[in-house]
Structure 1
Amino acid sequence: MEDIIETFNFSPGPSCLPKEVLLKAQEDTLNWNGSGISVMEMSHRSKEFIEIMQNAENDFRELMEIPEEFEILMLPAGGSMQFSAVPMNLLTKNKKANYLVFGSWGKSAINHAKRYADDITEVVDPDSIGNTIPDFSTWKIDPEAKYFHYCDNETIYGIEINDFPFEELKDQLLVCDMSSNICSRKVDWSKYGLVYAATQKNIGPAGVCMVIIRKDLIEEPMTITPDVASYKKYADAPYRCFNTPCTWSIYVCGLNLAIMKEKGIEAIEEEALLKSGMIYKVIDESDGFYINSIDKKYRSRLNVVFNIKDDKELEAKFVEDAAKNGLISVKGHKSVGGLRASIYNSMPVRGVEKLAEFMKKFQEENQQG
């Protein structure tokens, strides 16, 4: 029998959960906590599931230090539903909004918002977006807009806003998509009105979206809003369960949140910088073999994108050889090509060390001239 290669998944899609979470979920699949049934069979209105959901919410609130003036809603349909839910819930009277767009998820968000708004201001010229965020002095902002929306980390392009101009925008109601970097660093909640984050990157399985919204912003949405997209419907429902939630996904999120809470957000943030730093170090010291053209100030800590010179064949070989070494899903997004290592919370340091070592070896074996 061949030796089993330890595998590390650098996919930008559904998170690879920590082994202890998967083992606990496996153990409980047929018999949760001695109940004789699975969480998947459990009524979402039972005291058992209500306890599961409340524990997950409490651990999330404690981990991220979310103040009590914010409601936490666990909604279905991931982050994409929020592209429409945000304007439908917030643009009930003032139908103007500002959108900072510098990647695919921002583009999707603004395109959805245009269906419900009277006036959307695109803060920066999309043609000016390359490998950096244009200086704030060039931003075009409507001071009368109801809110200012941006995505904190764009997974495809590997750009993360690490120095957002909060002070300059202190009069704007900030709405942020943190789907790919939630729970990877501390958040100053006093700066935000609403944050949403799909769980499948850093928190748990796909299917749930955490909506953290200031309670005073919850009101009757537009009349065209489906009930499942209404923040008020959920906030007013018993235990914030307007309809049947994604019970299994919430349960597994809860298992992972409990572990992250014990670790602490400061330690998680330090580890995120450590892991991404390992890969950027290899890139920066490769003498141009590996290329990351993103402005260093805006390099993503979660999605490291890079190319191998200008050689698509060599990049294809990199993907193939990496997989043989237990390093899978390092191919870049189809829209931009290249290579990408997504390093979410569940990726252990040893996985990143192995990738860094492979990158050095691959360069040695394929360096020409």
Structure 2
Amino acid sequence: MNAEITFHLFLVVISTGLVKGTCPSTCSCSSDSSGSNVNCYSKNLGYIPDLPSDTFYIDLRYNSITEIDVQFCKEMPKLKTLLISNNQISEIPVNTFVDCELLQTIYLHNNKISAIEPFTFMNLHNLRYLYLYNNEISAIESFAFMNLPNLQYLYVYNNKIRSLESNTFINMTNLYYLNLSGNNISHIEENAFGNLTSLSTLQLASNPLNCDCSIYPFWSWLIERAAIGTSAKCSDGKFVISLRSAALEQCNPDTCHCFNGGKCVTMANGLAVCDCIGEWTGELCQESQCISHDCGFGNCYIEPMNGTAQCVCDDTYINYCPERDLDMTSSN
């Protein structure tokens, strides 16, 4: 009887180990009703070890981990807190955080991450804190941060980001604080920030923002949201919100009106200008080239290939038509 009881206990222990996994030998673990709390802080790890499947808290800070080769929540569906800062990680695979329904906090700062790909942080419905500062991020792709309805604090400062593309930050309705200071951001595309209805602070200090017409979409977005506190400055030191509306209205395509068949186009720097056709020129296509082009006694003609004014004298195209000989004209 005792042998039978011992055998059943052995099976229970074995099966529990198979379900929950084991604590890595170099780490320390504790368990309670929530699951396993795993502490691998500063254990000289070069990779992410196998972890108990019921892990809800994992501390992997201050190691030498170079890559993320696990889908954390596929292997640990109870995971709520992931601390993996101060390592040597250079990229985040797009599927890293798939099915992370309970994840609330992610520490990824002080690594060597170079870019954030589309859909890297998407549909993390309980995520509240995300730390990505002090990396080497030079590019954040569109849709990198998407549908994070409970995210409140996002730290991406002290990186190398050059620009913010359209649809970079979307549907984060509870985002309260966003820190992008200390990057190399010179250009912010239209709709880079979408549906951030709770945003209170947008830190953009120490970024060389280009305040030509390309700043217009971001400027108008800020003006419409006066409650947002921001430190955004132009490269010349002026605060973005201090730019005069009259000076920027020429950048607004809605205020661009062209005459005589001209069309409004937006230049590379964001300036809205008129593209004139035929003889028409000037800022609004209201000036005829023929008015200022002296053809003498000939007629003005607009060359269709390059749009320049020429003169027509007796079916001949020349630069100027001299006065005809009056004697020859009268004799006829």
Pick the TM interval, shorter chain: under 0.3
TM-score after normalising by structure 2: 0.24
Tell me: higher relative CO, structure 1 or 2? Use CA pairs within 8 A at least 6 residues apart: 1
* Greater Cα radius of gyration, structure 1 or 2: 2
TM-score after normalising by structure 1: 0.22
Structure number having the greater helix percentage: 1
